[in-house]
Amino acid sequence: MRIALVDSGLGTLATAAALRRMRPDLDLVLSTDPDHAPWGPRPPEEVAALALECARAALRYGPAALVLACNTASVHCLTSLRAHLEPRVPVVGTVPAIKPAAATGGPIAIWATPATTRSAYQRALIREFAAAIPVAEVASATLASAVDAGEEAAIAAAIEEAAARTPREIRALVLGCTQYRLVADRIQAALAPGVELFDAAEAVAAQTLRRLGLPPRPEATPTGTLVVLASGRPGGLPPAALGYEAGRVLARPGGRGTSPAGATADRRDRPGPPSPLAAG
């Protein structure tokens, strides 16, 4: 069985790695968009159009489910993708983990891209789950792109800048961009001691399996394949991905994630019949 994940850059890695750990026998398609990454600073209508193109590219491979492994895309186009695809193909979104973070009693902060931070969706989550506690919304226009590029100095500068705008008294920090999970240890180190981090990768992976009626089987034989699409072009994991533990999980033997960019997918990883969205 194949699952597709969509994000502009390396944000697919954390959820894909969680799926790989839970079900090493699953085939995965990572549909990324390096030609237009990051999506976070872009207007909502452009984010929706770009996410739709990535979904179309992934759906050519016949996945059983599609995961929007991107907070920005989820808050702007999850509803429209579900309207197009479900019930034929379940669509699982990724939204900021505000509910569990708010359960700490606050105060909390939410680090996210500008598009997610200014979205009505995030504001609705705050009203629903965190209306009674202080919430600091911290938008970063540079951290996601620095993570995608694997640029250590840029990552450090972006984290330092965001941390400087984060109240020191917070109890919990929501990682509202899937790229941020990849540098969670560095974010933790930049915060006051005792701050708990919250993100959605494991929860989204578990929800995807539930939607498909699949139990976790971490002991399964690691036969799952990996296809990586770069703005629709078949390729491989970019070099920056291997700088993160999630990327290394996907690149281990059995995951077929070690092929260089431009490598040809094996027979099982070639596009199948057109999906409802593939033709536009």
- The single residue of 51, 70, 91, 146 carrying the catalytic annotation is 70
Nearest CA-CA partner of 212 in 103, 44, 67, 16 = 67
**Residue 84: C-alpha distances to residues 80, 248, 275 (Å):** 6, 34, 11
Q: Is the dihedral of CA 42, 4, 258, 21 positive or negative?
A: positive
DSSP run (H or E) holding 72: helix 71-85
How far is the C-alpha of 52 from the C-alpha of 242, rounded, in Å? 27
Amino acid letter, 132: A
CA neighbor of 177 nearest in space, from 209, 155, 208, 157: 155
Helical (H) or strand (E) element with 31: strand 27-32
> From CA 126, how far away is CA 106, in angstroms rounded?
12
Radius of gyration over every alpha carbon of the chain, rounded to an integer in angstroms: 18
Active site residue 70: yes
Which structure tokens are listed for 277?
Answer: 């969205």
From 177, 182, 201, 277, active-site residue: 177
Contact 12, 86 (CB under 8 A): no
In Å, what is the CA distance from 173 to each residue of 15, 87, 100, 101, 265? 19, 34, 10, 7, 39
Spatial separation of the C-alpha atoms in residues 113 and 178, rounded to whole Å: 10
DSSP bridge pairs for 91? 66
Would you call 54 a catalytic residue per the annotation? no
Residues with catalytic roles: 70, 177
